[in-house]
Amino acid sequence: MSDTTTRPDDLEAAIAENPAAVAEFVERLDAVNELLDVLALGEGALTDEMVVELSGTAATLAESADGLATEETVALAEAVGGNGEELADAMETLLALQRSGTLDELAEVAAVASLLTAALDDEMVRSLAGTGSALGEIADTAAEDDTRDGLQTVLSGVGAAEGSDPEPVGPVGLVRQIRDPEVQYGLGYVFAIARAIGKGQAESD
């Protein structure tokens, strides 16, 4: 027999030196044997139908996991993870709106707006689109430097006239006012506006 073979005397000596460790090992070995016995009993109690059902459930879970592991779901998970605090704040806001009843009111307003949108016919849509386009053109014109400066000049003049407490002017007063250089400049400005308006009207006709 080779030197590597454990002799009974050596085994007895090892047990004598470490009786506590050997006892603990035996207890664990008994527990493992009992667990294996329980698993064997459970396996024997499973019917063919139960095995098929468990197999189907496992397959369904695997398919669900494959379906969830898409680029879209991964991107969604990353977005949620990167904006966790903002999403938490948004959820708290929604919950507050829900508790106060405001969320239901907003839903009702949205429903009414949807009904109104559905009720619009083509002609009404074109009319609204034309109005929006016209308003956009007016806004663009008002944003021009010359137009803005001119409106500011007119409005400033209106404000100054309102604050000066003007009096009625008769024919003699009119002649006297026309001699005033400031009045002459103002009349020239008014005539320039009238000329520009007339030119625009003539071109549109």
Asked whether residue 176 is assigned to any structural domain, the reply reads: yes
Q: Residue 197: its pLDDT value, please?
A: 85
Fill in the amino acid letter for 152: Q
Q: Does the residue 89 lie in any domain?
A: no
- Residue that terminates a domain, selected from 51, 69, 87: 69
Does some domain include residue 154? no
Q: What is the mean pLDDT of residues 172-199?
A: 87
Full residue range of the structural domain in which residue 39 is found: 1-69
pLDDT in tens, 121-157: 666 667 767 777 777 777 877 778 888 888 888 888 8
pTM for this structure? Answer: 0.34
b (16+ CB within 10 A) / e for 74-84: eeeeeeeeeee
> Does residue 77 lie within any of the structural domains?
no
Q: What's the chain's average pLDDT?
A: 75
User: How much is the pLDDT for 2?
Assistant: 46
Confidence at 62, pLDDT banded by 50, 70, 90: low
Please provide the DSSP assignment of 117-130 as one string.
HHH--HHHHHHHHH
**Has residue 1 got a pLDDT over 50?**
no
Joined tokens for residue 14: 């090892």
What is the reported pLDDT for 107? 85
User: 150, exposed or middle or buried, with CB in 10 Å at 0-12, 13-18, 19+?
Assistant: middle
Last residue within a domain, chosen from 19, 41, 69: 69
Say if residue 3's pLDDT is above 60: no
Given pLDDT bands bounded at 50, 70 and 90, which one contains residue 177?
A: confident
CA distance 157 to 186: 9
Tokens 């009111």 correspond to what residue? 105
At 138, which helix (H) or strand (E)? helix 122-142
Residue with tokens 């000049």: 153
125 burial via Cβ count (<10 Å: 0-12, 13-18, 19+): exposed
**For residue 83, what are its two tokens?**
């904006």
* Percent of the chain clearing pLDDT 70 (strictly above): 60
Q: Could you report the per-residue pLDDT of 105-123, keeping only the tens digit for each?
A: 888 888 888 777 776 666 6
Query: Pick from 43, 69, 95: which residue ends a domain?
Result: 69
**What total of structural domains would you count in the chain?**
2
Please report whether residue 150 resides in a domain: no
Separation between Cα atoms, residue 94 and residue 98, nearest integer Å: 6
Q: Specify whether the CB–CB gap between 142 and 151 falls below 8 A.
A: yes
pLDDT at 111: 83
Q: Does residue 148 form part of some domain?
A: no
Distance of CA 144 to the CA centre of its chain: 35
**Interatomic CA distance for residues 13 and 87, integer angstroms:** 68
Distance CA 47, CA 59 (A): 18
Q: In whole angstroms, give the CA distance from residue 93 to residue 158.
A: 48
195 part of a folded domain: yes
Residue 191, in any domain of the structure: yes
Tell which wins on pLDDT, 39 or 180: 180
